[in-house]
Amino acid sequence: MRRTFPAALAFAAVGFSALENGGFFPTSWGWPAIAFLVTVAVVSLLADRVRFARADMLLLFPLAGFLCWTALSALWSPGAQLPIQGAQLALVYVAAVAAFLLLDSVLLPLGILCAITPVAAYALATRLVPDRVGTYNPSPSGYLLAGTTGYQNCLGILCALAALIALGVVAHARRLGMRTGAALLPVILLPTLYFTFSRGAAAALVLGILCTVALERRRLSYSVTLLTALPLPLLGVWLCSRSGSLTRAGSPLSAAAHDGHRLLVVLAVLAALQAAVILLLATLERRIAVTPEGRRAYAVGLVVVGAAVLAAALVRIGDPVTFVDHATDAFTTETAAAGGDLNGRLVTLSGHSRSQYWNVAWREVRENPLLGGGGETFRRYWLQYRPAKLDVLNAHNLYLETLAELGPLGLLLLLAALAAPLVALRQAVGHPLVPVLAGAYVAALAHAFVDWDWQLPAVTLCTLALGSTLLIAARRSRDEHAVAARVRWTTIPLALALIAFVFAAQLGNNALAGAERAANRGDYRFALAQARSAHDWLPWAASPWQLIAEAQLASGDLTAASSSLRQAIRLDRSDSSTWLDLALTSTGRDRRRALAQAARLNPLGQDGPKIGR
């Protein structure tokens, strides 16, 4: 139980988050955080000795500092709700890292692998068996495979990380059954990744493999694994790309089901062949002794092939300066919404509005160069300065958004925490899976440059579990320490206090979500009750007051609604929708002032299409 619990905890946290829209909504944060905090409290209570190295503190302490700084940003933010909401999310990550480090197990990545695979398999089933699994959505957005994560790039990076871990298990596991089982997973993961049409996830997979090769001491052995375990899954990806009804939005259900059923049979055959290939490889490894001359010849062959591929790529690119200029122009050129043949998404260089997001984030940096605008405030700046009518909540760049919202200190704390596992790499090289895990960790950090992974606990928990495993692998026997009484009786009350806070916040977030659902279906009496409950649990939040006001407005009580909206504005003066609601309850000068404020905070209005949350 002690050996398997860490992997089971990672499995449960990542799996739960992946099933709950990637963990994006606050209602999905409480239970993982409580599970991690309970683990920390129990280990602190029962353990006499724990292994904890100085390098571990380089991850845990800056991350805890980042949490505190996010919460403190409520002091200079226009409202406290968004910064405290950001702190709640950061608390999930701090608690996860503390639990992972205390559990002291290198099996965490196996829990990640076991969590992601069924999520990917279900998502793939909705594409291959659309007449029996899930709800068929032929629109362009529906054809970007997202599964239960709710976002195609989230599912894509999860599949990429799982594929990297699976390849590492194939290369280094001692038991043949484990190697064979791991080799089957890319047959599921890579087609699933392909159907997300996520360029960032595909690039992260390639980057992870390259980093692994660079760090791997047994490069030739790992390259053999790649050459045996990747061709059949990649063949499956190619066959997926050739299926018109599965790659073209708007295809009728009958055509998609017909092609999907055939492709499912093909993938099953490829899986059987994949198992046979790994069994053959294991047999050859036992029977054939490779001579030094053979190794050198194989290495020379790999270098020649690599040089040929690089030369072909350079010829295809042409003049590097011209290519960079073209790529820059293409990245900043906005394309029309995806439609028709979605294979084109994988080769376009368009940033899909990211340059606009980053320009607005950089404006927030310029306006708040020292402290930042406050946790989670990018969404407010976007509405105020967006050049197009798109609804976006995040800047699609973790590091730039952190600088914009939390200033240089916030970014420094985040970078210090995320760099800690890489600093410990030299001490961790003795563990066979370290190069693989480091490659996956670097891939995850790189992907955060172009997407909002931090707001998706399913992705960030994977990243932190990989980083924690690297730190655990770097520990030495001298890093084992007795648990001092002062540490024990400081950690346990702190964990219990945080559990109480998380539980209260969970109740508040649940009530707030319930109020929004009730208001959307027109049940304003229940919405009012839920909104008041949310206010009781989240007294710093403006949203409950706005929902209370909308329920009062629906019942015709304009005076009470106006009073409630003024309470909401007192708590957060930067929400344009609250000012619009206030205009509905006002007349004369007050109405004109409210409309002017709403127009200043959101010049393009309220009804933009939702892009990337």
Q: Which residues, at least 6 apart from 380, have a Cβ–Cβ distance to it below 8 Å?
A: 78, 82, 373, 574, 575, 601
The predicted-structure confidence for 142-178, as pLDDT tens digits, reads as follows 889 999 999 999 999 999 999 999 999 999 988 999 9
In which residue are the tokens 């690089």 written?
310
3-class DSSP string for 282-298: HHHHHHCCCCHHHHHHH
Does 477 lie in the same domain as 515? Answer: no
Phi, psi (degrees; rounded to nearest 5) at 605: 90, 180
Give Cα 216 distance to the centre of its chain: 26
pLDDT above 60: residue 303: yes
pLDDT score, position 337? 47
Does 442 lie in the same domain as 533? Answer: no
Residue 252 within any structural domain of the chain: yes
Residue 313 within any structural domain of the chain: no
pLDDT score, position 427? 85
Question: What average pLDDT does the structure give for the chain?
Answer: 90
Q: What is the mean pLDDT of residues 439-467?
A: 97
pLDDT above 80: residue 67: yes
Does 573 lie in the same domain as 520? Answer: yes
pLDDT score, position 128? 95
The predicted-structure confidence for 215-240, as pLDDT tens digits, reads as follows 988 888 898 899 999 999 999 999 99
pLDDT score, position 609? 35
Q: What is the mean pLDDT of residues 120-147?
A: 90
What CA–CA distance (Å, rounded) separates 69 from 73? 6
Give the residue ranges of DSSP H helices in 145-291: 152-172, 176-196, 199-215, 219-229, 231-241, 244-247, 253-287
**Which sign, positive or negative, has the C-alpha torsion 148, 161, 65, 495?**
positive
| Residue 482, helix vs strand vs coil | strand
Does 131 lie in the same domain as 9? Answer: yes
| Residue 391, helix vs strand vs coil | strand
pLDDT score, position 294? 65
Residues constituting the chain: 613
Does 200 lie in the same domain as 99? Answer: yes
Residue 610 binned pLDDT confidence (cut-offs 50, 70, 90): very low
The tokens describing 186, both together, are 């890319």
In which residue are the tokens 């992907």 written?
447
Which region among 132-136, 377-381, 460-464 has the lowest average model confidence (pLDDT)? 132-136
Does 193 lie in the same domain as 230? Answer: yes
Does 401 lie in the same domain as 521? Answer: no
CATH number at residue 579: 1.25.40.10
pLDDT above 60: residue 433: yes
DSSP characters over 135-176: ----STTTTS--GGGS-HHHHHHHHHHHHHHHHHHHHH-SSH
Geometric angle at alpha carbon 34, from 414 and 376, rounded to 5°: 40
Residue 315 within any structural domain of the chain: no
Residue 491 within any structural domain of the chain: no
Are 274 and 184 in contact, with CB atoms under 8 Å apart? Answer: yes
Residue 502 within any structural domain of the chain: no
Q: What is the DSSP letter of 12?
A: H
- Percent of the chain exceeding pLDDT 90 equals 71
pLDDT above 70: residue 589: yes
What CA–CA distance (Å, rounded) separates 123 from 562? 46
pLDDT score, position 302? 66
E strand spans, 443-597: 480-482
Domain boundary among 483, 499, 522: 483
Q: What is the pTM of this model?
A: 0.93
Residue 457 within any structural domain of the chain: yes
Geometric angle at alpha carbon 374, from 369 and 376, rounded to 5°: 125
pLDDT above 60: residue 611: no
Which region among 151-155, 333-337, 362-366, 471-475 has the lowest average model confidence (pLDDT)? 333-337
Can you give the residue range of the structural domain that contains 243? 5-288+381-483
Does 447 lie in the same domain as 549? Answer: no
pLDDT score, position 3? 78
Are 173 and 182 in contact, with CB atoms under 8 Å apart? Answer: yes
Does 554 lie in the same domain as 450? Answer: no
| Residue 248, helix vs strand vs coil | strand
pLDDT score, position 34? 98
| Residue 3, helix vs strand vs coil | coil
pLDDT above 80: residue 596: yes
Residue 607 within any structural domain of the chain: no
In which residue are the tokens 């040089």 written?
307
Phi/psi-derived region of residue 612, left when phi > 0, alpha when psi is between -120 and 50, beta in every other case: left
Does 558 lie in the same domain as 422? Answer: no
Residue 229 within any structural domain of the chain: yes
The predicted-structure confidence for 96-109, as pLDDT tens digits, reads as follows 999 999 999 999 99
- State the maximum Cα–Cα separation within the chain, in Å, rounded to a whole number: 91
pLDDT score, position 71? 97
Task: Provide the number of structural domains found in the chain.
Answer: 2
Can you name the residues that pair with 610 across neighbouring β-strands? 391
Does 477 lie in the same domain as 429? Answer: yes
pLDDT score, position 335? 59
**C-beta atoms surrounding 533 within 10 Å:** 18
What CA–CA distance (Å, rounded) separates 519 from 282? 61
The predicted-structure confidence for 306-354, as pLDDT tens digits, reads as follows 777 777 766 666 666 565 555 565 566 665 544 567 887 877 777 678 8
Does 406 lie in the same domain as 266? Answer: yes
Phi, psi (degrees; rounded to nearest 5) at 480: -85, 130
